[in-house]
Amino acid sequence: MKTHTQPHTNGSSLLHHPPKHIVKKANVKDYEKTYARSIEDREGFWADEAKKLKWYKKWQQVLDDSEKPFYKWFTGGKINIVGNAIDRHLETHRRNKLAMIWEGEPGDVKTLSYHALNREVSKFANVLKSMGVKKGEIVTIYMPQIPELPIAMLACAKIGAMHSVVYGGFSVEALAGRISDANSRVLVTADGGWRRGKITDLKTIANEAMDRSPTIEVCISVKRTGQEVHMENDRDFWYHDLMQLPIAAPRCDTEVMDSEDPLFILFTSGTTGKPKGLVHTHGGYSVYTSSTHRNVFDIKDEDRWWCAADPGWITGHSYLVYGPLINGATIMMYEGAPNHPYPNRWWNMIEKYGITILYTSPTAIRGLMRFGEQWPRRHDLSSLRLLGSVGEPINPEAWRWYHEVIGRGECPIMDTWWQTETGGMMIAPLPVTPLKPGSATKPLFGIEVAVVDDNANEVQPGEEGKLVIKAPWPGMARTIFGDPDRYVDTYWKQYEEKGWYKAGDSARIDEDGYIWIIGRIDDVIKVSGYRLGTAEVESALVSHSDVSEAAAIALPHEIKGNAIHTYVILKAGVHGSKKLEEELKKHVSSEMGPIAKPENVHFLESLPKTRSGKIMRRVLKARAMGLDEGDLSTLED
C-alpha cells in the first residue's frame, strides 16, 4: 500500500453500481435530471431547498450578487440555525427521539433526546448571557469530544453569539493566536479529555494560552477527567457549578437573526501567514448543510448517523452537529481513539448502537485496516447502509477494504470533496450514483465545477489542472474574518474576470465526467486529513532559540496520507544532533499540537531559494522523493 495516486484510466471497468434496495429507497432517484434543473434555475432550486426550513420571516431575494465576490443569500430572511436544529423538532414526534448518543473513551455513555438537548442548550445559553455574552460576540471553544462541545456551539448560536471552535488537539500557540484574532472575551474548555487511556491536558494549555493572549475575562471549564487543574479566582468557573445556579434557567428564547448574520468563524490554514478565520452565516449555511446531508446520505428518520470527525474541524461543524440535527437525525459521538483499548472499538460501537451510516476519513480507515480484518469480522455490522469518506483522496486499497470488509460489499461509499471554505459537500455521489473507487464522482446540485489552466481554459479530459467553482452557492464562506482583501486575493483574484472560485486543489475530469481530486497546489498540507500550513510549522520551528530558518514540506505517508518533513538552518555556533532533532520535534508539537509534529528535522547549511528570497519547497520535495527537480532557473544559488 505505497501509492495514493489513482489509476490514470477513467476507471469505467471499475464501476460499482448501487444495490437495488438502495436505489428503491433513495430520496433522489435521478441525479442527472435534478442536476440539470438545479443549474438551469439555480435560485429556484435553492429557494425550494430553503423552504424546507423554519424561517421567522421569508427572504426577499435568494441571491444578492451586487457586491461580488461578497455574495449574500436569502437576504431579508429571518432565521436561526438553532430554530431548525432543535426548536422545530420539539413540536413533532422527534421531541423524544434521541438527538445524540455519546460514548466516552472509558466507556461511559450519555444520551440526549431533542427535548433534553434543548434543555441543556437553553441552560447554557442563559449562563453565557449572564456572563454578558452579546449578539455578535465571538466565544472561543476549546474542548475534547464531549456532549458539552456541541451544546456550547448551539448555545452560542441560540443567543446570536458566534463561536470559534479550536480543535482540542491544538496546543498553546495555535490556541493563543486564534483567541487573539477573534478577540474573545469568553473561553469554554474542560479540565481534560480521554485519549488512548491518557488525559489530554486542555486546561493547562488553555491557561498558558490565556497568559499569552489576555483578552479572555471568563473561562468556563467542564469537569471531564477530575484531574487537578489550576483555576483563577476571578476568571475561572466550573461548568457544572454554573449550570446549577438559578441563572441557568431551562427556557431561553432563540434569537431571531438575519439570514446573513454570522454563525461562526473557523480558523483554517492557508498558503501564507497565519491561519484565517472563515465566516459562515445562519441562513445559507443552514440551507446548504441540511440539503447536502439529506441528499448525499439519503437521510431517513430511523437513521443513526455517525460522523467520526472532531467538531473542531469543518466536517464536525457541518455534519456532526448542524446538518444532521437540522435533519432531525440521531447523531453518534465518540470521545477517544479508534483503537482504544482494542482495534475493534469502532466496530463494537457500530454493532452496539445500530449505526446505519458512518462518515470518516481515509486516514482513519487506513489506520484501522492495518490491524487486519479479524477485528471488524468479530462484529455484526449489518446495520450499516451507507459509508462516507472525506478530507483527502481515498486510495483504491482503502476504498476496497472499507467497501468489502466494513460495508459487506453492499454499502455504497460517498467520497465527498469539499473544504472549510465551502461549508458543505460540493463534489460527491448520491447513493444511486455508480462509483469509481478514488473518484468523488460528480458535482452536487447547484454546483458547477471545471478543471482549468492558469488562463481559465478548460483542460482536456484526463488532464490535470486547477479546480474551480463557477457560480456561488449558499454554504460558501462569506469572507475571512477581519481581512476581506485576503478573501478576494486568495479565492477570487486569479479568475476574477470569469467570477470563478479557486479551490486550491488540482484535479482531473475523465471522459465520463467523473472528477478525480489530486491534491493541494499550494503550501497547505493534509496530514491525516487535518489541514495545516507549512508556514505555521515553519514559524513554530523558528520560535526555537537555536533555529534561524526553516522549511516544511509534505511527503507521502502510508497511513497519514502525508507527513511533515522539515529542513532547518541553525544559528551560528549551534550544531545539529539527534538530540536537537528530537527537541525541535517536541517543540513544534507543544507549540502547535501533536498533529503538526514533524517526521524528521534535517539540518542544512542553506535552503533552495528564488532570487527574491522565497523558499522553493518544490525543490526540497523533488530531492527528497528522488524526482526531477524541474526548472531551476530562478534558483538563487
Chain residues that interact with ligand PRX, rule: CB under 6 A: 268, 313-315, 390-393, 415-420, 440, 503-505, 517, 519-520, 526, 531
How many Å separate Cα 59 from the centre of its chain? 29
Handedness of CA 347, 353, 354, 360 (dihedral sign): negative
Residue position matching grid coordinates 436569502 = 74
- Taking the least distance from each CB to ligand PRX, the nearer of 225 and 419 is 419
- Taking the least distance from each CB to ligand PRX, the nearer of 335 and 415 is 415
State whether residue 377 is helix, strand or coil.
helix
Sheet harboring 561-570: ordered strands across? 547-557, 561-570, 600-603
The least CB distance from residue 165 to ligand PRX, in Å, is 13
Instruction: Determine contact, residues 529/362, Cβ cutoff 8 Å.
Output: yes
State whether residue 177 is helix, strand or coil.
helix
The least CB distance from residue 516 to ligand PRX, in Å, is 9
Burial class (CB in 10 A: 0-12, 13-18, 19+), 126: buried
State whether residue 590 is helix, strand or coil.
helix
The least CB distance from residue 526 to ligand PRX, in Å, is 6
- Taking the least distance from each CB to ligand PRX, the nearer of 291 and 416 is 416
The least CB distance from residue 230 to ligand PRX, in Å, is 33
- Taking the least distance from each CB to ligand PRX, the nearer of 84 and 268 is 268
Query: For the packed helices 202-212 and 172-182, what is the interaxial angle rounded to 10 degrees?
Result: 50
Residue position matching grid coordinates 446549577 = 244
Q: Which helix (H) or strand (E) holds 186?
A: strand 186-190
94 Cβ partners below 8 Å, 6+ apart?
114, 301, 328
Largest CA distance in the chain: 72
State whether residue 465 is helix, strand or coil.
strand
- Taking the least distance from each CB to ligand PRX, the nearer of 351 and 415 is 415
- Taking the least distance from each CB to ligand PRX, the nearer of 148 and 415 is 415
Residue position matching grid coordinates 479530459 = 461
Query: Alpha-carbon distance 428 to 444, whole Å?
Result: 6
Query: Residue 392 has which C-alpha cell?
Result: 483527502
The least CB distance from residue 140 to ligand PRX, in Å, is 19
The least CB distance from residue 189 to ligand PRX, in Å, is 22
Instruction: Determine contact, residues 63/49, Cβ cutoff 8 Å.
Output: no
DSSP assignments along 531-591, one per residue: EEEHHHHHHHHHTSTTEEEEEEEEEEETTTEEEEEEEEEEPTT----HHHHHHHHHHHHHH
HSE, side-chain direction, 13 A CA sphere, residue 312:
23
Instruction: Determine contact, residues 448/471, Cβ cutoff 8 Å.
Output: yes
Sheet harboring 464-469: ordered strands across? 449-452, 464-469, 501-509, 515-520
- Taking the least distance from each CB to ligand PRX, the nearer of 407 and 519 is 519
The least CB distance from residue 395 to ligand PRX, in Å, is 11
Task: Find residue 453's DSSP bridge partners.
Answer: none
- Taking the least distance from each CB to ligand PRX, the nearer of 94 and 366 is 366
The least CB distance from residue 528 to ligand PRX, in Å, is 11
- Taking the least distance from each CB to ligand PRX, the nearer of 229 and 390 is 390
- Taking the least distance from each CB to ligand PRX, the nearer of 120 and 536 is 536
The least CB distance from residue 278 to ligand PRX, in Å, is 9
The least CB distance from residue 85 to ligand PRX, in Å, is 20
- Taking the least distance from each CB to ligand PRX, the nearer of 77 and 277 is 277
- Taking the least distance from each CB to ligand PRX, the nearer of 444 and 517 is 517
Burial class (CB in 10 A: 0-12, 13-18, 19+), 545: exposed
Determine how many CB atoms are found less than 10 A away from the CB of residue 417.
Answer: 27
Query: Residue 615 has which C-alpha cell?
Result: 523558499
The least CB distance from residue 570 to ligand PRX, in Å, is 32
The least CB distance from residue 517 to ligand PRX, in Å, is 4
How many Å separate Cα 408 from the centre of its chain? 28
Cα-based distances in Å from 212 to 175, 178, 207, 208, 589: 10, 11, 9, 6, 17
The least CB distance from residue 266 to ligand PRX, in Å, is 9
The least CB distance from residue 424 to ligand PRX, in Å, is 9
- Taking the least distance from each CB to ligand PRX, the nearer of 195 and 502 is 502
State whether residue 561 is helix, strand or coil.
strand
The least CB distance from residue 258 to ligand PRX, in Å, is 26
- Taking the least distance from each CB to ligand PRX, the nearer of 190 and 435 is 435
Helices and strands, counts by H and E, the chain: 20, 29
Query: Alpha-carbon distance 157 to 155, whole Å?
Result: 5
- Taking the least distance from each CB to ligand PRX, the nearer of 427 and 432 is 427
Sheet harboring 413-416: ordered strands across? 109-113, 98-103, 330-334, 304-307, 357-360, 386-390, 413-416
Instruction: Determine contact, residues 247/509, Cβ cutoff 8 Å.
Output: no
